[in-house]
Amino acid sequence: MISKQDYIEYLISSQTNFTGTNLSEHRSGMSHNTVSRFLMNNRFTPAQLWKAVKDQLDDHDKSVVIVDDSVQSKKYSHFIAMVKKQYSGNEGGLVDGIGLVNFVHSSGNDGEFWPIDYRVYSPASDRKTKNDHFQEMFLKMVVEKKLRSSTILFDNWYASWQNLKLVNSHRWTFFTTLKNNRLVSVDRDLGYQHLEELEFNEKSLIEGLIVKLQKVPFKVKLFKLATPNGRIEWVITNDLSQDVNAFTAEIKNDNRWQVEEFHRGFKQLTGAEKCQCRKERSQRNHFACCYHAYISLKTRAKELGMTIYALKKSLLDDYLVELLYQPKIFGMV
């Protein structure tokens, strides 16, 4: 038999190989079929993640929720359910993989950040878009989680008019980027214009422009920001009191480094991409256990004052000490 805790502890303990075969080879009396049945016959859900992580949050009125997705690469596996070709920022192009949409809670740029909800992006099996997942998780967060935070950050993938209306209707503040092809209006007589056609002066670059988006029944404030690589980024918010100085001070870099740090740790430390099971339920359960492994590592690392990477590496210390005292292979001199 194997329990959920057993599997999570395996994901925490293993350093490079996260397969059921590897687990069965290192756990006495456990077969590969036992692991396969465990992943196939259970049903773990995102709600269980919230139950495990909610007491860790430093939630206050200045904390924010960040929405982003990541692709768990399966480029060497051609028969795994839910795998589809999609863009991966980590890979810099299209890869075969399984997408995850994440809600990450942040107490601030220098504070703690934790995953609080997720969805597996699999339109072939559930016919849901990433925006469908966004709306479902947002409503669950507002209705059930009841955070003190009321600010949400997301990129242009989630900046649909439906999402903007939903967030605004619940009196949350949003900050998001726009694609270059979005149309906005600064004046009813001028009609809608492409973003590149807007004229900014020294004042509006600081204060932003109040504009109207198509199909959005309220006005937003638009900022034109230059990124370090010289690219122009268009940012909007429904908080019309913002200027560029307050915006950059409050939401520095959109807290992106935190969600990227989460994605990196999730992939590198929990074996999220390494499960070779072909069935959809097995992959979903594996991902669920990876989220629990991540928060377990992070909780313990916080207690010890370590990074999660140092904590994971330290698990090998006792093994090395033992080998130094009782080598299994003797060096030849």
Taking only the tens of pLDDT, the chain with its 333 residues reads 899 999 999 999 999 899 889 999 888 878 889 999 999 999 999 999 999 999 999 999 989 999 999 999 987 777 899 999 987 777 778 889 999 999 999 998 778 999 999 999 999 999 999 999 999 999 999 999 999 999 999 999 999 999 999 999 999 999 999 998 899 999 887 889 999 889 899 999 999 999 999 999 999 999 998 877 778 899 999 999 988 877 766 555 556 788 999 999 999 999 999 999 999 999 999 999 999 999 999 999 999 999 999 999 999 988 888 888 888 888 888
Evaluate whether residue 303 is within a structural domain: no
Evaluate whether residue 323 is within a structural domain: no
Alpha-carbon span 330 to 333, nearest angstrom? 9
CA 185 to chain centre: 32
| pLDDT for the residue numbered 249 | 61
Instruction: Identify the domain containing residue 217 by its residue range.
Output: 151-242
Joined together, the tokens standing for residue 70 give: 């990541």
Evaluate whether residue 159 is within a structural domain: yes
Evaluate whether residue 206 is within a structural domain: yes
Evaluate whether residue 52 is within a structural domain: no
- Backbone phi, then psi, for 70, in 5-degree steps? -140, 160
Full-model pTM: 0.92
Q: Are 308 and 298 in contact (CB under 8 A)?
A: yes
| pLDDT for the residue numbered 327 | 85
User: Per the structure, how many domains does the chain have?
Assistant: 1
| pLDDT for the residue numbered 86 | 87
Evaluate whether residue 155 is within a structural domain: yes
- By three-state DSSP, how is residue 71 classified? strand
| pLDDT for the residue numbered 228 | 76
| pLDDT for the residue numbered 324 | 85
Alpha-carbon span 102 to 1, nearest angstrom? 31
Evaluate whether residue 320 is within a structural domain: no
| pLDDT for the residue numbered 111 | 80
| C-alpha triplet 47, 50, 53: angle, nearest 5° | 150
The dihedral formed by the CA atoms of 104, 301, 10 and 88, expressed in degrees to the nearest 10:
40
| pLDDT for the residue numbered 189 | 78
| pLDDT for the residue numbered 89 | 73
Joined together, the tokens standing for residue 39 give: 């992943």
| pLDDT for the residue numbered 238 | 96
Evaluate whether residue 296 is within a structural domain: no
| pLDDT for the residue numbered 95 | 87
